Amino acid sequence: MPSEPGPAAPGATPDDAGPEARLHARLAEVEARIAAQRRLVDDIVGVVRDENVDDEHDPEGATLAWERQQAAALAAEAAVERDELVAALDRVAAGTYGVCAVCGRQIPTGRLEVRPAATRCVEHAG
């Protein structure tokens, strides 16, 4: 398991810190997104359970079933990102973070800022 980030310098932001701190900050954002989507799913399920809702024939728009599936899909997507970030933290600990898995060259910093869990350089990304 990766180590916890050390204390940041006063006034420092995750962008000022090293890759481990940036990954931990992004991981916290993703965990919050997962929790929010799961709460939304639970709320929708609660509405359906507590009320006699005929969402299948609702003329007002999206059905509760669709909203529940949408929230569940967003939570699942965030869970995939969480797993990728955890793997990236493992690469930091192993000293292989930022190294292209195909060619072994450094992944450009700009790419890692946009895709912190990237395992391939731009040339080998597609």
Q: Please report whether residue 32 resides in a domain.
A: yes
Q: Please report whether residue 74 resides in a domain.
A: yes
Q: Please report whether residue 52 resides in a domain.
A: yes
- Please give the residue range of the domain that contains residue 25: 19-95
Q: Please report whether residue 37 resides in a domain.
A: yes
Tell me the per-residue pLDDT of 36-83, one tens digit each, with 9 for 90 and over.
999 999 998 887 776 665 555 655 556 788 888 999 999 999 999 999
The pLDDT value recorded for residue 11 is 44
Structure tokens at 52: 């006699």
pLDDT confidence of 106, banded at 50, 70, 90? very high
| Nearest Cα to Cα of residue 45 among 32, 55, 35 | 55
How many domains would you assign to the chain? 1
Q: Please report whether residue 43 resides in a domain.
A: yes
Q: Please report whether residue 70 resides in a domain.
A: yes
Q: Do the Cβ atoms of 64 and 42 come closer than 8 Å?
A: no
Average pLDDT taken over every residue of the chain? 84
The pLDDT value recorded for residue 121 is 96
28, pLDDT greater than 90: yes
The residue ranking higher by pLDDT, 61 or 122, is 122
Q: Please report whether residue 51 resides in a domain.
A: yes
Q: Please report whether residue 121 resides in a domain.
A: no
Structure tokens at 101: 């898995």
Query: Which sign does the torsion angle of CA 24, 27, 33, 37 carry?
Result: negative
